[in-house]
Structures are given as C-alpha cells and as structure tokens.
Chains A and B, each alone.
Chain A
C-alpha cells in the first residue's frame, strides 16, 4: 500500500472527482469537520500545489471517506499511519 506523502500530488483530487464532489461541496464537508483552510487553500492541497499539514490531510481524507461510505465504498483514502492501527 502507498503511504500518504509518497503518492502522486493530485491523488486527492482524483478521489474528489471519483466521489462526485465539487470543490465547493468538498470544502463545506471539510469545514464541517473542523477544517480551517480556505477553499482556495483546499484546492491547492488537492492539486499538490500546497502540502497540507498532517492534521489537514486527515480531515480531507475523512471528508472524502465519509462521502465514499455514503456511496457504499469502504474508506479508500489513507490517513496518517498511526490512525490506521
């Protein structure tokens, strides 16, 4: 399995597209979970232009994973390794 950080920079954005979420809807879900970055920063994380903090990376991963479980898919986006244990 790939560990977060070694994956291609735009992997989060391809997950977003796969989940059928617009940038704005993903931002709202991220905000809902306590995310503090702006929509613009979130887009930069997704495209790999900015590196999210480990905490932000987990919030984004979880916002995507909750959407995936709504779609009946078991959380495909990885978290920081210590959370997976």
Chain B
C-alpha cells in the first residue's frame, strides 16, 4: 500500500482501503511507508485501529520503512490506546481508491509490527520536531479524559517557550507562567519532576500565576517533565476546566506521552542545550574513569586482560544487584582500605 500524504482528509481513504483489505481476511498485511511525506494524527489512529483489528484474528500488520518520527508516533498511539471517533469505512466508492496499490504478501504470522519496524533516519530539523510535538499534544488531548488543553514547553538556549499548544487559551496559560516565573509547567521544566495542581481553587504553591489561570476558567493542571540525556528540558502540560479531573490512568498516560516526547527530543539532539549536554557528558566521563581505574586494579591483582577485568566487574555487580559504577567504586575503595590495613576487598 503506497501513500504520499496522510492528513485528516486522506485518512478516511486509508481507513476505507485498510478496512476493505481486512475484510478479505488476509494472512498478512504490509504497509509501505517509504514514500510518505506527511502523517497526521488521524492517519496514526487509522493505522493503530487496523493493527488492532488484524491482531484479533492473529494477523500481523507489517509497517515498512517508517521514518524515526512516524515510528515514535505509532508507538505513542499504540501505548496510549487512543479512543476517539475513527474515520469509518464505507464512505467512499471504489473510484476514489484508484491509484492506491494494495500489496499483500505472505509472511510468517509470528512477526509483529514492533519486530519489523526499522529506523530510517533521524529528525534534526526543528520544524520536524515541533511538528512531532504538535502531534503528541493532539494525541494527548484526544486520549486523556477531561483534558481541555495540552501544550509542550521547551527550554531552548536557556529560555522556556511553548512549542506546541492545542489552542490560544493554553498558549496564554503557558505565557502567564513564564511571565510570573512560576506554575507547574515552569517547575516541571526546570526541576525535572511532575507537578499536579488538583484544584486551583485551593492551590497555594503559585500565588502569582494561579489567579490568572482561574480567570481563564482553568481548574486543574498536570505537568510532566520532558528529559533529554537525563536532563530536564521541558514539560508536557495538561489543563482541565474541571477540578480533580486527572485520575491515576490519566497521570500514567501523561507520563507515557512525556516519555515519548523525551525520546523524540533526545533523538533530535538540537533541543538539548549545550550546558545540559556538557553536564551529562561530564557525568558519563567520570563513570568511565571510575570504571577504567577499577579495571586497572583488577588487571593488576589477577593478571588478566581488560575485557576479562570488565567481565569480572560485571559478574560481581550482577550477583550483588548493584550498578557497574557502584561495583567499580567499591573496588577503588578496597584499594584505599588495603593501604590502611591487611583486609582487601577483592572484586
């Protein structure tokens, strides 16, 4: 099946073609996305729906050559189990399906979509990343019950701004937080953990921002942090006009969306500030150094080579259920101890 653009309009056609193909009870189905230039949220929902329909009869939908971005987004749809009005079948006559080539191939049914996905390229263009985050916003809005607005705030060159928002009120809501330097979105973006304002009527944490939000009719806010290279870089903000509207499942869904958006940002590199990257890299370098010293000590003690010294460290950390770095630090500590007394802690 070849498709050029899947937007809100062509998603209907795609749904009709897929439905017709599924009705013929295929043993397998392949969707070739190599020539896809645009994929909207509606298209993702159609594909996820087809995948689910096929799965009920034990048939795998194979998606070939999706871009990294489409791949991430399909993952989001799968996990969030988006439930919203799907473009149905039967609206279109066969004449509208002209030019759509249905490719049906026989594959072993044990292969799943997940197994067969291939990463084709890395998104690097900021517009592409913003577009992807826009889709995350759209999908979060569609799948989180009682969400009246969703936005993504991102730190770029040390400045927090909204890169995707479901409407102007939400845009204003975020701007009010940047202007007052407070609010759940600012805190989640800078401090890297989530903030939940269950009811703004009783909220006391953000005295300058809260009255502004109440004036715009917002009652509850849930901000989940976005991270790239383990550093906070922004937040996914969900707003509701109903107090206490975010249930546990909504909070989990928000975390899942934030996680996916974080992966998009990490893959794109461009959104990670130089400072944040430097901090993360410095940490990595320090760990590598500790490990390297520990390997040297083990090599000297046991007369083995570097790879065997690594295996020895790994075996010990697995047995003791500690991280490799913690194990390496213990080895370094044992040297200091054995300098003081006879009892050394052999790795």
Contact = CB atoms under 8 A, between A and B. Distances in A.
Contacts of B295: 34
A15 to B, nearest CB: 11
B319 to A, nearest CB: 10
Contact of A62 (B260, B269, B324): B324
A62 B262 CA distance: 22
Interface in B303-327: 307, 310-311, 314-315, 318, 323-325
B288 to A, nearest CB: 5
B311 A66 contact: no
B19 interface: no
Contacts, number: 74
A75 B284 contact: no
A23 B247 CA distance: 33
B314 A62 contact: yes
Most buried by B among A10, A23, A28, A34: A34
Nearest to B268: A22
B32 interface: no
A66 B75 contact: no
Contacts of A59: 310
B119 interface: yes
B335 interface: no
A76 to B, nearest CB: 13
A23 B229 CA distance: 11
A79 interface: yes
* Range, interface on chain B: 20 to 34
Contacts of B291: 32-34
Q: Taking chain A's interface residues, is the majority helix, strand, or loop, or is none over half, making it mixed? A: helix
Contact of B266 (A8, A17, A25, A66): A25
A53 to B, nearest CB: 9
A37 interface: no
B191 interface: no
A20 interface: yes
A32 B263 contact: no
A34 B324 CA distance: 11
Interface in A44-85: 47, 55, 58-59, 62, 66, 69, 75, 79, 82-83
Contact of B310 (A58, A69, A75): A58
B292 to A, nearest CB: 7
Contacts of B259: 20
Interface of A: 8, 10, 13-14, 17, 20-25, 28-29, 31-34, 43, 47, 55, 58-59, 62, 66, 69, 75, 79, 82-83
Given A32-B291, A69-B323, 15 more contacts: A10-B118, A17-B114, A20-B262, A20-B263, A23-B122, A24-B229, A25-B228, A31-B284, A31-B288, A32-B284, A32-B287, A33-B324, A47-B119, A55-B307, A66-B323
